[in-house]
Amino acid sequence: MAATAESVLKPDFGAARKHFIFTDEHEQLRESIRNFATKELAPHAEEWEETTFPDSVFTRMGELGFLGLDKPEAYGGQGGDYYSALVLAEEITNANSGGLAMGVAVHTDMAMPPILAFGSEEQKQEWVVPAIKGEKILCLGITEPDAGSDVSGIKTRAVKDGDDYIINGSKTYITNGHRADVIVLVTKTDVDAGYDGFTLFLVPMDAPGVIREKKLEKLGMHASDTALLAFQDVRVPASAVLGQVGKGFYHIMWELQGERLIGAAGMVAGSQKCFERTLQYAHERKAFGREIGKFQVIRHKFAEMATKIEGARQMTYMTAWRFANGEYPVREISMAKLVASRVLCEVADECIQIHGGAGTDEIMLDVIGRSYGL
């Protein structure tokens, strides 16, 4: 808005303004996911941290149409754009359960996209259609006990045997690994072909030889199930190959890009939630006769956090806009995920600090500062 002699411009801090990538439809979607997460999921968050969240969350979300927001209508999806998947990633944080958000995101934004992008019509009908309804649950198997960051170091082998393949190996840290009906499995089919020696398979989790070995304990996100899996002479037909034989590495690298942006959006939203909850606390909690938020040190912490969150959000949205418009901005996607995850850790740490509880750095800093006569 331009200033004129007649007008007095005042900052509109309270204005609710949507980002340009979002339409009114996205905002309506945002509200309905938020209502659902707040009313139907959040009340169980603590219990599910003990028990893991139930499979019925998938069926309920399927009923509501939330598992196929950006998936084609031909397979039961809503036919929305990529931004609608970002809206889900952001609003599901209102479930107050990082583990639940991760379990859902693995299903919708990690395992499902490669089936839609590279799968045969039969594979889409068999797995994507019921997955969008929440009747079948998906997981994705890349990581192995001896190969994490170094995806090319995986050892799970798929060896051709007549018209079939025989799979042997193990996968670890597999989200939804205990509950899933099918796994998008990364294997090596040709050990001498370098990056051209990988192949993806869709392996039903009830196939003989698939062993759900162990539920893994984690430091947090206990609501999600994280599995160690073994594959012992698992026989699958050639029709279980997902995409092209020998192109699995490239297929999975493509999948990681969409997943990383969804992760970034979720982390920005999680940071915002920490911020808002702590802001409320800073208004309520009093020390030395005033709200703790009125101390300049604490006020500046909020200013720092808000600025970092906004920076991460803008980077995520801008990169999502490029991705949704047909670009493949791998560098910026990595930047967005890096920044969003760092901001989330910093904000969570700062928010815990503001909540105090057991000895606060601010008081120590104040004692030290005053000791210099300041």
Ligand X SMILES: Cc1cc2nc3c(=O)[nH]c(=O)nc-3n(C[C@H](O)[C@H](O)[C@H](O)COP(=O)(O)OP(=O)(O)OC[C@H]3O[C@@H](n4cnc5c(N)ncnc54)[C@H](O)[C@@H]3O)c2cc1C
Kindly name the residue from 90, 259, 284, 332 that is annotated as catalytic.
259
Please say which residue, 174 or 347, places its beta carbon nearer to ligand X: 174
Q: Where are the beta strands (DSSP E) in 122-197?
A: 138-141, 157-161, 164-175, 182-188
**215 versus 283: smaller Cβ distance to ligand X:** 215
The yes-or-no answer on residue 350 being catalytic is no
Q: Is residue 323 within 8 Å of 333, Cβ to Cβ?
A: yes
Give the residue at shortest CB distance from ligand X. Answer: 148
Nearest residue to 109 (alpha-carbon basis) of 126, 87, 94: 87
Radius of gyration of the chain (CA): 23
The CB-of-225 to ligand X minimum distance in angstroms stands at: 10
- Closest separation in Å from C-beta 250 to ligand X: 16
Residue 40 CA from chain centroid, whole number: 20
CB 183 within 8 A of CB 174: yes
Judged by beta carbon, residue 105 or residue 354, the one nearer ligand X is 105
Output the smallest distance, CB 49 to ligand X, in A.
Answer: 14
d(CA 215, CA 174): 9
Could you tell me the CA-to-CA distances from 215 to 51, 206, 225, 312 in Å, in that order?
12, 17, 7, 33
| Cβ atoms of 269 and 346 closer than 8 Å | no
Reference 263, options 329, 333, 318, 314; nearest CA is 333
CB of 118 to ligand X, least distance (A): 17
C-beta of 200: minimal distance to ligand X in Å?
12
Contacts of 160 (CB under 8 A, 6+ apart): 189
Q: Is residue 132 helix, strand or coil? A: helix
**By the criterion CB under 6 A, which residues form the site for ligand X?**
106, 140-143, 148-149, 173-175, 218, 221, 226
Is 145 or 237 the residue whose CB approaches ligand X more closely? 145
Q: How far is the CB of 244 from ligand X (least distance, A)?
A: 20
Nearest to ligand X of 12, 150 (CB atom) = 150
Cα torsion at 178, 181, 186, 188 (round to 10°)? 100
Considering beta carbons, is residue 225 or 350 the nearer one to ligand X?
A: 225
Q: Beta strands 164-175 and 198-204: pairing type?
A: unpaired
Beta bridge partners of 214: 228
The tokens of 220 are what?
A: 């947090």
Nearest of 176, 173, 175, 197 to residue 186 by alpha carbon: 197
- Of 106 and 261, the one with the shorter C-beta distance to ligand X is 106
Cβ of residue 366: shortest distance to ligand X, in angstroms?
35
In sequence order, which ranges of the chain are alpha helices (DSSP H)?
Answer: 24-36, 45-51, 56-63, 82-91, 98-105, 112-118, 121-123, 129-133, 248-284, 296-324, 330-355, 361-370
Q: Catalytic residue positions?
A: 259
